[in-house]
Structure 1
Amino acid sequence: MSWLRNNGLTIVLLVLTALSLGGMALAGLQVENSNLAEHGAPTADLWSYLFSGSFASAVFENWESEFLQMSFYVVLTAFLFQRGSSESKDPHGDEEVDEDPASKQRDKRTPWPVRAGGLWMWLYSYSLGIVLVALFLASFVAHWLGSAVAANEEAAVHGQAPATLIEHLFSAQLWFESFQNWQSEFLSTAVIVVLSIFLRFRYSPESKPVAAPHDRTGS
């Protein structure tokens, strides 16, 4: 039971992810088969749909935008400020958010890259941003490939010539799919940054204490 309590947030989020993916697959299959039926093409089963360009494109264009949002958020909050927000460092604060990791190199409880020092410590110091950017790039590539397959499947139904991967990379369709998600991610991040100045959610680490003044920065 202690393991479930200690990992409950991750477990619930992963379960919700799996349920959402399942619902997306079932609903997407119906939409896909409806479109195929309109053009007199044979319908797809669930297994083939899961490996189709349409499903891959839909999944990864959303993952791409989420990882873009998180990577930008991690990097920007290291250098930029919003006074009063729980999501920001205090622009006028004198306290150090993170002490020099080199001062903890001899502490056996610190992660091994810190004890190793040098390049390992530098990479570990920025590892969260690095990995999030890498996940964004991987998701973008997966979205690009899936979108290209889906576009060519659609072109085949209409008797049109397929496009190459490079042609699709510079197509309006791919960038429309990306930008329609990117704008919502940046907006939602701005909204939480601003709303956390004035609004609270008791016990959440993303919120300032209920009685904290509006001009207090950080959670």
Structure 2
Amino acid sequence: MRRWLRANALSVTMFGAFLLFLVLQSVFGWQTRNEELTQYGLPPEAYLAYLGTGHFAEAVFENWESEFLQMGGYVLLTAYLVQRGSSESKPEQGSDRPDDHADHAKPDSPWPVHARGLALKVYRNSLSLALLLLFAGSFVGHLLGGTAEYNEQQALASGAAPVNAWQFLGTSDFWFQSMQNWQSEFLAVGVLVVLSIFLRQHGSPESKPVTAPHAMTGD
């Protein structure tokens, strides 16, 4: 077990932090929602019931949506675009790596490499495809959760008739929620791309070696 944890420490830490902060988000969101219900003279909601509300779903999927869009877009863009001096970029004059081609397959290469054809075509782009599919799923989750939350807020505030998901998609409220997250995600990645030109982090694969010149592109 100790050896397994050491070999998988990064992913275990990331997913552990994710679960911790998700639980904390749910607890504080539940408290916030009950404060709102109290203001309207309504009884507080049980914690488990809160987990099935639009309030919680909207908050969770709204953030997942932006994260997966950023990561999927970034993986795809780095395949075609370069940034001189950044450790996040492939070399300016770099072509495809030899090992990106099936002709350089090894005995222990993943099975789609040996299968060739459609399986290989999909596998060659499977990382960006998976991330963008996760974005699409999160987008739908945000839309459905947001619709439920929007309808409840409208009913509490003015007794307005509910809208369906397609109608909520056309509201400025939905797109305001999305854009406030999308812009911050691309800002963060852009800052990392540029800062990695001039700054270093010893031991991190996200950084160039400490002694590398600023003009060196890639890691």
Asked if these proteins are the same fold (TM beyond 0.5), I'd say: yes
- Structure 2 CA distance, aligned partners of 1:24 and 1:96? 42
Deviations 1:17-65 (A, max 9, x none): 0110111011111110111111111211110111100100000000000
TM-score w.r.t. the length of structure 2 is 0.96
Matched, 1:206 2:203: no
Contact 2:98/2:104 (<8 A) preserved:
no
**Stretches of 4+ moved more than 6 A in 1?**
none
SS at match of 2:68: helix
3-state DSSP of counterpart to 1:108? coil
Paired amino acid for 2:58 = S
After TM superposition, the structure 1 = structure 2 runs for residues 177-196 of structure 1, keeping only pairs within 5 Å, are: 177-196=177-196
Which residue matches 2:161? 161
Unaligned runs of 5+ in 1: none
Query: Which residue is 1:77 aligned to?
Result: 78
Instruction: Give the distance between the partners of 1:104 and 1:218, measured in 2 at CA.
Output: 22
How does 1:102-113 map onto structure 2 within 5 Å?
102-105=102-105, 107-113=106-112
CA distance in structure 2 between the partners assigned to 1:28 and 1:99 by the alignment? 47
TM-score normalised to structure 1 length: 0.96
Cα root mean square deviation, aligned? 1.1
Query: SS at the partner of 2:202?
Result: coil
Q: What is the total number of aligned residue pairs between the two structures?
A: 217
Q: Which residue of 1 aligns with 2:124?
A: 125
CA distance in 1, matches of 2:155, 2:44: 15
Separation of aligned partners in 1, 2:121 and 2:54: 39
Give the whole-Å Cα distance in 2 for the aligned partners of 1:180 and 1:157: 25
Q: Which amino acid aligns with 1:203?
A: G
Query: Could you say which residue in structure 2 is the equivalent of 1:197?
Result: 197
Q: Distance in 2 between matches of 1:98 and 1:70?
A: 24
Q: Identity rate of aligned residues, in percent?
A: 49
* CA displacement at 1:166 relative to structure 2: 1.1
3-state SS in 2 of match to 1:191: helix
Cα shift at 1:98: 4.6
Q: 1:19 aligns to what?
A: 20
Q: Return 5+ residue gaps in structure 2 as ranges.
A: none
- TM-aligned CA deviation for residue 92 of structure 1: 2.7
Distance 2:98 2:78 in 1: 13
